[in-house]
Structure 1
């Protein structure tokens, strides 16, 4: 197929509550929603970027510029016979993986619609339900933290992830572990520590955590390998793994015991599957991270998490965790066993609420072939 036009929308979709990490605070989603059109069929994708370059180097503005000026023309010049072609087409492009992934997701969705296949089928998923947890941002005090966590436990979440930073790490983790001795618990530092904190971070070993996520610099692998030797708790790499090559380096250096795969971070599904297969061959478990996606990106994550080596609960909470109203009419609902049901409808399964999507759109660009 040849794409005839691509529509991009910048949105402003409020969260039910602000979300704070060790490095930034967000009030809502500023993702770029992408729709490709070819042969009378649409395909939808999402680049879950923010307005500022705090998680990685990309922002809503850079994604729109890259797609408009570089990526869309590259894609629309090509005859695409399979969604895996997108990785080859974008191979000359350095970085800008979230911009690439938004388009790649839309191409996968388009092929799902034309082939009458679910995204799970296309990716090789094996599960009807995927285990999920919830990510809890930094709170104003421990009493508030326990109240927030308690609410999620009451909702049925069986795995809790705590955002941590220096001064908000050991005691909050201790408090949650004391309150819920048997719950699956992990922490996420979002790159705020250094090797000088190794002895301090080792105190987290006593809490029986599933993992410590990205404690050191966002682009580091070597120091994580050094830190892993000083800890009993497995390190999980997130921001450092931006490609299959980075995953291979981390595995060979034994820099982690777990890998977080966010398809938008690594450029899409093709790269995600390569990392999944590489980690499985090395007996390293993976789990699907989230970027607080709308229902469009969330559907993509749920399908990916149905692959066999996604053995740890993902950050793919029910839509209501983040949004009072989402841009889809069929939000994911948490099952009573802390899982989400993988859609078996064609393509990604997201049903777009066009009226509400129009309402939260702050900028729209149409790119024609």
Structure 2
């Protein structure tokens, strides 16, 4: 496959409602999309970097800059392998890889889900639908939280994840568990207990052990595998790692140290779909629970995540909510839709299985780079 060019497209979209976590509040989001063009097809990828470097060191403007100045020129000249010369920038790399893979698969008439199954050592049985989970942000008010959780459970979501942090943990969890005794429930701290240290975090989080949670996600800092291993020995609830895992090598270290019993696998965070499959396979080999995480993706990234989540090693429902959970208007022709049985269909068409349609008013900037160089 020969690339004719790569286009970077920045769009600004409104969320269906503000999203609040320990890292801040988002009501509107700029998203960098990558379009890879060949003689036979075009493919799309989505960069999940947030506006500010609060989730990882990457952020939207920086990701776009490295794509334009370093990654896209290298890929145009030497293919995807040429990205390896650039250190870090996992989310930018993942977006570019996804676009190139999508273009190639569309040209061959192959669905992404089938391509990922073909390279996985643990593909599992073919799945046309995957169980859907939903994340609920910090409301700051228990009554509002219960209303939100009740709404999502009523819609059919099989698993609910609550965002928590010091001072907003046991009270909201207790209230939700009391209202929904049988609900598959987990919490995500986004590293917010790191300031308390292992002893302080253990004291705070041990109070959640009696509520039957699936897991506590990323309580400590993203560079503290040893601390997570120690914390995990003090808690009955399984620990899950998210921000701490930026590659399969990181996953190997976490497994070797006993730093987690569950892993959240995000293609953008680990540098792409191919690396995400490697992490998935490692979890399956090691007996580590795994699920496919989300990053407020549009329908472009969500379609790719659904294809990944269809692999058999993902033993837990992921953050694969319907498009309308987060976006007022999506940018694909077939947005992800929650079915009555609490699942979402895996796109079956060529590539990521959806077509992109950008409202003109949403486009902030476009930059075209041809294989011969230049804009």
- What's the Cα RMSD here? 1.1
Answer yes or no: is the 8 Å Cα contact 1:187–1:211 preserved in 2: yes
The separation in 2 between residues aligned to 1:359 and 1:328, in whole angstroms, is 15
State the 1:64 CA deviation: 1.1
The separation in 2 between residues aligned to 1:29 and 1:289, in whole angstroms, is 18
What are structure 2's unaligned runs of at least 5 residues?
A: 118-122
TM-score scaled by length of structure 2: 0.94
What secondary structure sits across from 2:351 in the alignment? coil
For 1:364, the equivalent position in structure 2 comes to: 366
The separation in 1 between residues aligned to 2:31 and 2:113, in whole angstroms, is 23
CA deviation string 1:225-274 (max 9, x = no partner) = 01000011110000000001000000000000000000011110111111
State the 1:309 CA deviation: 0.5
State the 1:199 CA deviation: 1.4
The separation in 2 between residues aligned to 1:285 and 1:91, in whole angstroms, is 29
State the 1:323 CA deviation: 1.0
State the 1:28 CA deviation: 2.4
What secondary structure sits across from 1:12 in the alignment? strand
* Segment of structure 1 superposing worse, 190-199 or 227-236: 190-199
Check if 1:351 corresponds to 2:344: no
For 2:85, the equivalent position in structure 1 comes to: 92
The separation in 2 between residues aligned to 1:27 and 1:219, in whole angstroms, is 29
- 1:58-137 equivalences under 5 Å are 58-78=58-78, 80=79, 86=80, 88-124=81-117, 126-137=126-137
The separation in 1 between residues aligned to 2:28 and 2:156, in whole angstroms, is 24
State the 1:40 CA deviation: 3.8
The separation in 1 between residues aligned to 2:233 and 2:140, in whole angstroms, is 33
* Segment of structure 1 superposing worse, 125-134 or 230-239: 125-134
Check if 1:2 corresponds to 2:32: no
TM-score scaled by length of structure 1: 0.96
For 1:198, the equivalent position in structure 2 comes to: 202
CA deviation string 1:296-348 (max 9, x = no partner) = 00000000000111110010100010012111121111011211111111110
Runs of 4+ in 1 over 2 A off after TM superposition: none
For 1:83, the equivalent position in structure 2 comes to: none
For 1:334, the equivalent position in structure 2 comes to: 338
- 1:301-320 equivalences under 5 Å are 301-320=305-324
State the 1:94 CA deviation: 1.2
Q: Across the two proteins, how many residue pairs are aligned to each other? A: 360
Answer yes or no: is the 8 Å Cα contact 2:40–2:107 preserved in 1: no
State the 1:140 CA deviation: 2.8
State the 1:92 CA deviation: 2.2
